[in-house]
Structure 1
Amino acid sequence: MILTYGESDKGLVRKVNEDAINLSVENLYLLADGMGGYDGGQIASTLAVKSAGRFLKDTPVLTEQLLKESFYCANRAILNEKVDQPELKSMGTTMVAAAACEGKLLWAHVGDSRLYRFQDGKLEQVTVDHSFVMELVTEGKLSLAEMRVHPRKNEITRAVGIEEDMKVDSGSFALEDGTFILLCTDGVSGMVEDSDLESLIASSPRKTKEDLKELGRRIMDKVYEAGARDNASFILIQFWN
């Protein structure tokens, strides 16, 4: 059994919501965080999740490679849109995708939107942010705590729709009974500490769709308590045997 719930909110500061989610294809979960001005960000994120979803819609068996190819399709769609609307030349988007197939979770991502796995009481960030500050962390020049308050924490080093030659990170892992997946934009991960997300998930029942909606409400409450300075979006996925 798979339970799913997603939500996208503009927060308290931004005038528009530049995030987008797509749950229209069974067992496929897409989330994006646009950039490039109000119109550009909205267009880029929406184009990305819709293009990737269309590419994978009629695929009988999803694979990690096909998931990556859906990102290339989204990349082309945004680049083509820039040709038609040159005033949107600065737009681009992060994107993270997950797909459940034959007992595994396939994932792919570009940018700093994240995929987390919660199993046996522990929350683990599976994806690695493509960001300026994460590079500093990797080099040992910055701690994770310092990363959260760094003035350049929102600078990403990789995005969909910027260059023809785009690199996509991907992977897969086995799904176990009780595996819980969180996809989110940095409007969630940047507002709520991983330890708080872990506590929220651990303390929440996740047996029904209503349970996931309640967990989503609790996560969004935490985002708002922290100031909701960015658009905040998430997808919750619960797997039970």
Structure 2
Amino acid sequence: MTPHSRMEYLFFARTDCGRVRKNNEDAVATAPEIGLALLADGMGGYNAGEVASNMAISITEHAMARWFAHAGTTPTTSDVRKALQESVQEANLAVLNTALQQPQCAGMGTTLVAAVFVQDRLVLGHMGDSRCYRLRDGQLQQITRDHSWLQEQMDAGLMTPEEAAQSGNGNLVTRALGVEESTPMEINEFQVLPQDLFLLCSDGLTDMMDDHELLMLANTPVSLEEKANLLIDTANTFGGRDNISVVLVQAQAENRKRGFISRLLHKSSPRV
């Protein structure tokens, strides 16, 4: 694949309350027309986490849509990175201001994973402990790094992954949207190959199964909808202690014939 290779993407998103929680503080969204996938896991007082996650998703999605509407047909990934940071900062200030102005929302915040697919590149931003995995050639790799107390302990060599899995401090995040005026979102860029599968998920999924179980489910040869249902149903079978959210994005090389016909129809369409 060359840097200018064209790629098609299939999207599917689902969120579930789980078996224990009474309300769902996760939120998900996809906007295939701009190659965008979003997932957030809210936190805060009664229903405030739900407010934070939905605000983060809605504002980021609309801000990115506005940007793409004026960005032209071939935006660079560096431009996309800047637009994503600005869009997320807009959402960050909106969540923070709501938390400060409405007592019932005091202290709320949310994790966020934002994936933007541009041709054969992925611009991936995240904060908190919601994750993105990539399945390539039968191998599953986590391509985000948790912003959490546990991850910091492991990075410092003070705790092993096995000890972290047994810790009772798994929900302590060190970075979140809506907590401070300026949000240092971590943004990275990845090359995308045909047949790559990307899994965005909240910790309600990953806390219920280990990496081997996640790999087996992600490798199952079924549709994206069936795969998302399988992942969530399995997490619920294992206890469903938290809200469970999954966004799946499947990459595939553009169908040359269909791509040519689409461009031909677009070129011949009357202007209004």
- TM-score > 0.5 by shorter chain: yes
The correspondence for 1:35, drawn from 43, 57, 71, is 43
Distance 1:3 1:25, change over 3 A: closer
The correspondence for 1:227, drawn from 218, 230, 239, is 239
Asked if residue 118 in structure 1 is aligned to residue 135 in structure 2, the reply is: yes
Distance 1:32 1:239, change over 3 A: same
* Structure-2 residue corresponding to 1:169: 186
**Whole-angstrom CA distance in 1 between matches of 2:123 and 2:192:** 10
Check whether the contact 1:18–1:38 (CA below 8 A) recurs between aligned residues: no
Output aligned runs, 1:1-150, within 5 Å.
1-24=8-31, 26=33, 27-58=35-66, 59=68, 60=71, 61=75, 63-150=80-167
Letter in 2 for 1:52: T
**Whole-angstrom CA distance in 2 between matches of 1:135 and 1:84:** 32
Stretch deviating more after TM superposition (221-230 or 16-25): 16-25
**Whole-angstrom CA distance in 2 between matches of 1:151 and 1:236:** 29
Output aligned runs, 1:188-203, within 5 Å.
188-203=205-220
Check whether the contact 1:16–1:38 (CA below 8 A) recurs between aligned residues: no
Letter in 2 for 1:14: R
Q: Tell me by how many angstroms 1:239 deviates.
A: 0.5
Letter in 1 for 2:65: K
Q: Tell me by how many angstroms 1:25 deviates.
A: 5.6
> In angstroms, what is the RMSD of aligned CA positions?
1.3
Q: Tell me by how many angstroms 1:82 deviates.
A: 2.1
Q: Tell me by how many angstroms 1:157 deviates.
A: 0.9
**Whole-angstrom CA distance in 2 between matches of 1:215 and 1:22:** 17
Unaligned runs of 5+ in 2: 1-7, 254-272
Check whether the contact 2:125–2:187 (CA below 8 A) recurs between aligned residues: yes
**Whole-angstrom CA distance in 1 between matches of 2:220 and 2:241:** 26
Letter in 2 for 1:33: D
Unaligned runs of 5+ in 1: 206-210
**Whole-angstrom CA distance in 1 between matches of 2:251 and 2:221:** 15
Check whether the contact 1:25–1:53 (CA below 8 A) recurs between aligned residues: no
Find the residue that maps to 2:225 and give its secondary structure: helix
Larger Rg: 2
Stretch deviating more after TM superposition (43-52 or 135-144): 135-144
Q: Tell me by how many angstroms 1:84 deviates.
A: 2.9
**Whole-angstrom CA distance in 2 between matches of 1:91 and 1:4:** 29
Q: How big is each residue's C-alpha offset from its partner over 1:67-102, in whole Å with a ceiling of 9 and x where there is no partner?
A: 122211110110121233133111000000001102
* Structure-2 residue corresponding to 1:208: none
* Large movers: runs of 4+ above 6 Å: none
TM-score (norm 2): 0.84
Output aligned runs, 1:211-222, within 5 Å.
211-222=223-234
Q: Among the aligned pairs, what percent are the same residue?
A: 37
